[in-house]
Copies of this chain bind each other. A is one copy, B any other.
Amino acid sequence: MKLISETLTYKTSGNTDILDITGDVARCVRETGIAHGFVNLFIPGSTAGLTTIEFESGVINDLKDAIDRMAPKNIPYAHDLRWGDGNGYSHVRAALLGPSLQIPIIAGNLALGTWQQVVLCDFDNRPRQRRVLLQLMGEV
């Protein structure tokens, strides 16, 4: 049984920037040689999250619209009144989406659906450098 950690890094533009990271995660899986197991994904930070979606620009915009209904940018936030960061909505969006995800590895591949991609969602109100931590576990 192997347990291997990897770190992926991304430059994001903020403002609910959504990036497809599937190819990078799949490459890490191949490089470990794990044939049967799983990969845990985690994004450090309180203004970003992870999920899966079809990476198609129309539905990505639809997701942004839904997130904006859940935690609108243009309403008052107590966080902003206190700290003046202007990113209270970013924190709330990140907490609702969640920072972690787990995907099975079967026959050396991520067991995703055909139209299912892994996405990093950066909700902060400015460009950021982000890390996604992978932990790959399983049998070669």
Which of A's residues lie within 8 Å of B, judged by CB?
Answer: 1, 3, 5, 36-38, 40, 42, 44-46, 51-54, 56-59, 61-63, 66-67, 69-71, 77-83, 88-89, 91-92, 94-104, 106, 111-113, 115-117, 119, 133, 135, 137-139
Contact = CB atoms under 8 A, between A and B. Distances in A.
A35 to B, nearest CB: 11
A42 B111 CA distance: 9
A99 to B, nearest CB: 5
| This chain: copies in complex | 3
B92 A104 contact: no
27 contacts: A44-B112, A44-B113, A45-B116, A46-B53, A46-B113, A51-B96, A51-B98, A54-B91, A58-B80, A58-B81, A58-B83, A61-B78, A62-B71, A62-B88, A62-B92, A63-B91, A66-B70, A66-B71, A66-B92, A66-B96, A69-B70, A70-B70, A98-B101, A100-B103, A104-B133, A106-B133, A137-B137
